[in-house]
Amino acid sequence: MTDSTVTSRPFDNVLVANRGEIALRVLRTCHEQGLNTVAVYSTPDRSAPHVRRADEAYHIGPAEAAQSYLDSEAILEAARRSGADAIHPGYGFLSENAAFAEACAEAGVHFVGPPAAAIRAMGDKTAARQLMKEAGVPMAPGTTDAVASTEEGEEIAEDIGYPVLIKAAAGGGGKGMRIVHEPEHFAGAMDRAQGEAASSFGDGRVFIEKYIEEPRHIEFQILADHHGNTVHLFERECSIQRRHQKVIEEAPSSVLTPEVRREMGEAAVAAAESCGYRNAGTVEFLVDADLNYYFMEMNTRLQVEHPVTEWVTGVDLVAEQLRVAQGEALGYATDDLSINGHAMESRVYAEDPVSNFLPDPGPLKRHSAPSGVGVRVDAGVEEGGEVLIHYDPMISKVTTWGRDREAAIDRMIRALDEYEVASMATTIPFCRFAMEHEGFRAGDFTTHFVDEEFDPSALQLEDPERDELAALAATLYYAETQADEAPTIAANGREDRSPWRQRRRP
């Protein structure tokens, strides 16, 4: 059954409404498909790699995202001037903005993503839970409607049993969420949750869920075409998070049994079909120690961590998004796919793990990314470039593939050790800490890993100032001597060829 809405008209000119690594990622697949590409850029991004890499580029406004990458009019104007017949939103910015998806349709430009209705349905967490209930998708016990009063909320919490979570209906990603352990704290928590929801989302509605203790975050990649085919591409484990920001992801999860994987995959497909989903999306679940799984949210966009799924399935998710948006059928089912090996991803943020992951944006004086067999780096900045204060401080994503989880982890350690970044602190030492952490290596961890297992003092990093000096000294050193002298021998006996590496002292 083909959607009446879709008109199968191939693209030849795609505008990428984003910046950084995801813009480059989408441009690469477009160029591989011989498509003409259009970039948009804010003033400080004038000489950014994505601008140079696109066939043409349009300035859309000043640094502030609201006047540039979030300005749908400016982006649609660029589409009109470039004759773009499709817009790929990437992730973040306008990627989950239903009004933008509609504005694209009105402008006769394909929005490479789901229908506006699906974005809206999954954007409202109570509407999403209502649909999951009808679709029989397991959820944490709780309400599917907003709670009308504190009294009603207290009754429901009694029924569910403490601890409970009060969540914002318009929320997501942890914003507007309150854990309540005792009845006497409920009323206060409800007030604060409603207040925060109203201020953050302009919608003070909240709902209640049973609090799942020590959960893991496991999500399923979905692809749905306009011909009634919805498939899943297995799961990603994303439990290593700090303040609801993922730092390390992997595929597959080390804890799912084939049976639970099959069940969760079917639940994810049912979740997508329940809202008429099309294109690429992700269904997030919480999984407890007994492998009970509960629908949490559905992300209606391509995810940052999509490369780990690409590694283990061999599927280019952006290519599939473009094929689906051009009206093509997927042409395969989940059973035609299989998980090959294991993939790991480390997010390299310009953040200082020693000082509570404080952002550390600024000029990137030294940037030499690792490569080699089984290593992929999606970087959005380059040496001599800058990590701008206006946007997410992600420098790159390092993904490694191994025939099994241990091989992928050991390859990640090699890659992180090879990575040279100077003039700012990064999350590389934290990712290295995790890769060596006994519990992580054993696959025994939850969403509480960072809070419970990570103590910054364990890193004992070289101080950045000394690093800076070392980097400049090394630049001069190599310039003068071209490294023909014998290298210095570090404390662990290993040749310390370059002081740039932000590794932990042994």
Give the E-state strand segments of 128-278 in sequence order.
164-168, 178-180, 206-210, 216-224, 230-242, 245-251
**Annotated catalytic, 262?**
no
Of the residues 301, 323, 347, 432, only one is catalytic, namely 301
Which of 25, 217, 306, 411 touches ligand MV4 by CB under 6 A?
A: 217
Which residue, 260 or 470, is less far from ligand MV4 as judged by CB? 260
Q: Of 390, 312, 322, which Cα lies nearest the Cα of 350?
A: 390
Quote the least distance from Cβ 447 to ligand MV4, whole Å. 4
Which residue, 111 or 211, is less far from ligand MV4 as judged by CB? 211
According to the binding rule CB under 6 A, does residue 232 interact with ligand MV4? no
d(CA 207, CA 223): 29
Stretch that binds ligand MV4, among 11-19, 212-220, 386-394, 399-407 (CB under 6 A): 212-220
According to the binding rule CB under 6 A, does residue 37 interact with ligand MV4? no
Which of 11, 211, 311, 349 touches ligand MV4 by CB under 6 A?
A: 211
Quote the least distance from Cβ 283 to ligand MV4, whole Å. 12
x/- mask, ligand MV4, residues 124-143, rule CB under 6 A, reads ----------------x---
- What are the Cα distances from residue 256, in Å, to 222, 251, 259? 18, 11, 8
Quote the least distance from Cβ 212 to ligand MV4, whole Å. 4
According to the binding rule CB under 6 A, does residue 242 interact with ligand MV4? no
The per-residue b/e assignment along 241-268, b for 16 or more CB within 10 angstroms, e otherwise, is: bbeebbbbbbbbbbbbeeebbeebbebb
Quote the least distance from Cβ 164 to ligand MV4, whole Å. 8
- What are the Cα distances from residue 65, in Å, to 73, 172, 292, 400? 13, 20, 40, 32
According to the binding rule CB under 6 A, does residue 244 interact with ligand MV4? yes
Q: Which two tokens stand for residue 26?
A: 């989408």
Which phi and psi angles does 462 have, rounded to 5°?
-55, 140
Quote the least distance from Cβ 251 to ligand MV4, whole Å. 16
Q: Is the dihedral of CA 435, 439, 445, 451 positive or negative?
A: negative
Stretch that binds ligand MV4, among 25-33, 101-109, 206-214, 399-407 (CB under 6 A): 206-214
> What letter would DSSP give residue 26?
H
Residue that has been written with the tokens 């599917």 in this structure: 144
- What are the Cα distances from residue 302, in Å, to 71, 129, 252? 20, 21, 18
According to the binding rule CB under 6 A, does residue 447 interact with ligand MV4? yes
Cβ atoms of 12 and 36 within 8 Å: the answer is yes
According to the binding rule CB under 6 A, does residue 300 interact with ligand MV4? no
Which of helix, strand or coil describes residue 340?
Answer: coil
Cβ atoms of 140 and 210 within 8 Å: the answer is yes
| Planar angle of CA 90, 305, 436, nearest 5 degrees | 155
Which phi and psi angles does 6 have, rounded to 5°?
-80, 135
Stretch that binds ligand MV4, among 3-11, 210-218, 222-230, 322-330 (CB under 6 A): 210-218
Which residue, 140 or 248, is less far from ligand MV4 as judged by CB? 140
According to the binding rule CB under 6 A, does residue 188 interact with ligand MV4? no
According to the binding rule CB under 6 A, does residue 297 interact with ligand MV4? yes
Quote the least distance from Cβ 497 to ligand MV4, whole Å. 38
According to the binding rule CB under 6 A, does residue 181 interact with ligand MV4? no
SS3 annotation, 356-383:
CCEECCEECCEEECCCCCCEEEEECCCC
Stretch that binds ligand MV4, among 211-219, 315-323, 326-334, 371-379 (CB under 6 A): 211-219
Quote the least distance from Cβ 139 to ligand MV4, whole Å. 8
List residues with catalytic annotation. 301
Q: Which residues lie near ligand MV4 (CB under 6 A)?
A: 140, 165, 173-174, 209-212, 215, 217, 241, 244, 286, 296-297, 447
